[in-house]
Structure 1
């Protein structure tokens, strides 16, 4: 199997989701630390414009969005499974809720001014302001902190109701839903502990978090961004699977298109549409530094347009 390269930074909640899945799958991976704010020239060299964190690189193939990263890792190492047969539908639906509604409420609560001050203590002057401006530019939702706190408390109670009955959300083993629900709560507990009192009312949630943390984050080795680009330049994209072309837009394969996230972080990636299956899009593009690449996106949450 070609080596897995995760482009991430330590405090990114979605990156922590990916790291935990790598640990669950007991996979070895290479770690490339990316900036938390723009500019990100090494990121853009590989993705063509997509700037969210994390993304997964396998040779000259770039996989965007943790929903797709989970699918890729499941394909590479089916056991232990993220999608137990009897939970395939409900686990994905729950994970989508956790990555959107739960994440939005949790992060609006997590990044209140006193938490941001603690988070950026020791950073250069202006780092907190730069981070806030960057996230506003991404179009990240900012619910009122009091409303977010109320929603977050309710969501925590609902999660507690589930894990009081089982070790994990849907039974004795974790699934994709657990990792999607875990990462914004991890941010509360580990990155902004000044805000972590909200978790104390749900001890069952803390115990569930401890069980997930015990799974580890796989075996990581550091890699520089330039070395990751060199890996891409020395590889060729993997052959595409012979999956059925699913045309919802009247845009033919081989067309020049752009793909962008529906919500925050809507910078587009432009290239040739070489696959549009039931679950994902693939663009072919060439970068002066990284060479010929395939950049992959999930269909859900992304917008395809003629370029």
Structure 2
């Protein structure tokens, strides 16, 4: 029996809960209260991040990407890793996009829309789960203030908000809604790693919170239906689209990724190299490394540099390089079509890895 430490309000817990359900792995879920953080999560992982999974052997796993990798090796049935070259890479691209880029609308629609007092109650459960509602609201408001403080550092400002909303509603939801009208999941009849990457922001924040949830159900009902399907405990597993094909309905989103997200990823690589030169004696890499510019739609804004983005980018590049070693010309033609081939050629001179749940240079 696995144990999942997390919460309904947590973005990445939603991703991993859906994965465990799809894999049909037996698990208990434990709410990550303040007490659980102090007694279990921090002592066992050394970091204060959820979700955490305790294996039947008593091992504690942290970081959803690595948890899924670990569990896929142990449980090969109902695999979420496509065999085809293009589908394998596209799955990783969507996983990166969901994990790190859709956090922008997720945080905006949670903290800048009318989701209260729902959010205060949800956060209050983490502090004092058994208290009356008015006490949960009191503590929840205090804790929520801490998390809402991350909104500006993500580049969510009065200047960028109109464009973020336009992009999310008329690009992200629009194209996903068209796609899920014809396909149950990103790549056909079964979920891939990319589906679970999307599930984080699209469930906990953008479906479950009242304001964005109502918006999704109104303008993108097929996306809402996909979220509900991803949360089902007994999902019938079909297969991916034949012949390693990528549905045309995903192409606008893939082009959007390379246009908006990948310049930020490449900038992060440059910033991390510069930080290493300036801090040669430092072993552990901080989560934030100052600021850089990013563009969304037709506007530019500043946001903090997340060092962990390079780790996630490396996963995609490693996937590409392993496939490209097989001289897959069709993959390169496809990447050229969606504007991604040049980005796949980047060489990371200072690769990073995770050691004891902390980022270090490899």
Does the TM-score normalized on the shorter chain lie above 0.5?
yes
Maintained 8 Å contact 1:40/1:51: no
Q: Are 1:130 and 2:143 counterparts? A: yes
Q: Structure 1 98/210 Cα, relative in aligned 2: closer, same or farther at 3 Å?
A: same
Counterpart of 1:228 in structure 2 is none
Q: What is the CA deviation profile of residues 37-57 of structure 1, one whole-angstrom value per residue up to 9, with x for unaligned ones?
A: 997453211111x21211223
Alignment of 1:70-109 (within 5 A): 70-86=68-84, 87-109=87-109
Counterpart of 1:201 in structure 2 is 219
Q: Structure 1 260/71 Cα, relative in aligned 2: closer, same or farther at 3 Å?
A: farther
Q: Structure 1 106/138 Cα, relative in aligned 2: closer, same or farther at 3 Å?
A: closer
Counterpart of 1:65 in structure 2 is 63
Q: CA deviation at 1:17?
A: 0.8
Counterpart of 1:13 in structure 2 is 11
**Structure 1 counterpart of 2:204, from 187, 202, 205:** 187
Maintained 8 Å contact 2:2/2:54: yes
Q: What is the CA deviation profile of residues 12-70 of structure 1, one whole-angstrom value per residue up to 9, with x for unaligned ones?
A: 1210110110001000123332137997453211111x212112233453322111111
Distance 1:216 1:139 in 2: 39
Q: Which structure shows the higher helix fraction?
A: 2
Q: CA deviation at 1:96?
A: 0.3
Greater relative contact order (Cα < 8 A, sep 6+): 1
Q: What is the CA deviation profile of residues 245-283 of structure 1, one whole-angstrom value per residue up to 9, with x for unaligned ones?
A: xxx9x9xxxx9943654589x8x9xxxxxxxxx798464
Q: CA deviation at 1:174?
A: 1.1
**TM-score scaled by length of structure 2:** 0.57
Distance 1:202 1:161 in 2: 9
Distance 1:44 1:57 in 2: 13
Q: Are 1:212 and 2:230 counterparts? A: yes
Distance 2:205 2:90 in 1: 26
Q: Are 1:111 and 2:111 counterparts? A: yes
Counterpart of 2:284 in structure 1 is 258
Q: Structure 1 9/187 Cα, relative in aligned 2: closer, same or farther at 3 Å?
A: closer
Distance 2:203 2:354 in 1: 32
- Segments of 5+ residues of structure 2 without an aligned counterpart are 122-132, 236-272, 290-303, 309-317, 320-351
Counterpart of 1:32 in structure 2 is 30
Q: Are 1:152 and 2:168 counterparts? A: yes
Distance 1:170 1:187 in 2: 22
Counterpart of 2:323 in structure 1 is none
Maintained 8 Å contact 2:110/2:206: no
Q: Structure 1 8/72 Cα, relative in aligned 2: closer, same or farther at 3 Å?
A: same
Q: Structure 1 213/7 Cα, relative in aligned 2: closer, same or farther at 3 Å?
A: closer
Q: What is the CA deviation profile of residues 206-242 of structure 1, one whole-angstrom value per residue up to 9, with x for unaligned ones?
A: 222232222459xxxxxxxxxxxxxxxxxxxxxxxxx
Q: What is the CA deviation profile of residues 143-201 of structure 1, one whole-angstrom value per residue up to 9, with x for unaligned ones?
A: 13444322321211121232223111111111111121123222246532233232111
Distance 2:354 2:59 in 1: 10
Distance 2:156 2:35 in 1: 21
Counterpart of 1:241 in structure 2 is none
Q: Structure 1 150/43 Cα, relative in aligned 2: closer, same or farther at 3 Å?
A: same
Q: CA deviation at 1:136?
A: 3.1
- Segments of 5+ residues of structure 1 without an aligned counterpart are 218-247, 269-277, 284-294, 298-302
- More displaced stretch, 163-172 vs 39-48: 39-48
